Structure 1
């Protein structure tokens, strides 16, 4: 659900007000708030078994092949690009540990990849909004896993377009195939599906 109007492209003051609101609601309102180019998005998801299990499986499978200084981090803090006025919280952030040693939010340009497990309640947030926002923020690789359909995609190669930076390459997959995210290949066998 988008809370601010679609054309909410106001200045730094409006962004700061949205940011303050999002931070004030952490841990007090169910779901997850993020600031997009369209305004504040509230994903009212309650932790659902298949979503949380998919996130766990992917984190563990990614970290199996990673060097010790790289992690597949789940949780806080958010990833923020203030100049674009976007603040997101990926389900999994592939990032070097030394890039996590910062006060406040993570710089999205330090992420190696963002991984999202599509929400049953708001799939457009992952398939539309984040496909638009992550290249604007400078996230080089965006992987989407969709337990609704047992499919997904890995988007890479940010390039300029008249509408702003976009991903140039999209590799679709179906559950059961191996998927390469940045430098690491993971199996999608046995990932749970929504019923």
Structure 2
């Protein structure tokens, strides 16, 4: 299917309008705003202690194994691909220090891996939306930690499908098992769970 220049321009204008809206609203609303192919996603709850502790522990465990020039970054900015109309904010981004330099959003194709801790209030954002968006952005490895269930998955090997790029390989794990994210294997022992 060919895309006419008018369609591309209209999509670009729509994306910039959504991005402006997110920037204006982000500080006045609780939770996190992201842009997907479907529009703006609002995770209503600010991340709680188990969520943030999981992200911090996964980051720390990875960084103990990584060379100094690679970080498991838990801060800002977002990753953004305007051509795809997507702006996401992974909980942990495995990225080279050199690729963090400069201004603006990170180029998603510079990420080595994106790691998400599943939100209590919107689990489909991590298990469905980001599983669709991250291969579109070219992020080679996507790891999901789910404190609701004490389980997760690592997805890799992007391949083309009729519905766009998707991950071909999925390795599920349970908390307590070791998990490999790209080339680093960490323990999932003692990761916190959400209260029932």
TM-score range (shorter-chain normalised) is: over 0.9
- How many Å apart are 1:30 and its aligned residue? 1.1
Q: Secondary structure at the match of 2:21?
A: helix
Q: Provide the C-alpha distance between the structure 2 equivalents of 1:190 and 1:39, rounded to a whole number of angstroms.
A: 36
Partner residue, 2:94: 94
Partner SS for 1:11: helix
1:185 aligns with 2:185: yes
2:53 is equivalent to residue 53 of structure 1: yes
User: Alpha-carbon deviation of 1:93?
Assistant: 0.2
Residue 45 of structure 1 deviates from its aligned partner by 1.7
CA–CA separation in structure 1 for the residues paired with 2:139 and 2:172 = 18
**CA offset at residue 103 of structure 1?**
1.3
For 1:113-164, what per-residue CA distance to the aligned partner results, in whole angstroms no more than 9, with x for missing partners? 0000000000000000000000001000000000000000000000000000
TM-score when scaled to structure 2? 0.93
Match of 1:11 in 2: 11
Alignment length (residue pairs): 186
Unpaired stretches in structure 2, ≥5 consecutive residues: 1-9
Q: In the alignment, is the contact (CA less than 8 A) between 2:31 and 2:45 conserved in 1?
A: yes
1:133 aligns with 2:102: no
TM-score norm. by structure 1 comes to 0.94
- Establish whether residue 113 from structure 1 lines up as the match of residue 113 from structure 2: yes
Task: List gaps (5 residues or longer) in structure 1.
Answer: 1-9
Residue aligned with 2:93, SS = strand
Match of 1:36 in 2: 36
CA contact (8 A) 2:47 2:119 kept: no
1:57-96 equivalences under 5 Å are: 57-96=57-96
How far off its partner does 1:46 sit?
2.0
Query: 8 Å contact 2:32–2:46 — kept in the other structure?
Result: no
CA–CA distance in 2 between the matches of 1:127 and 1:135? 13
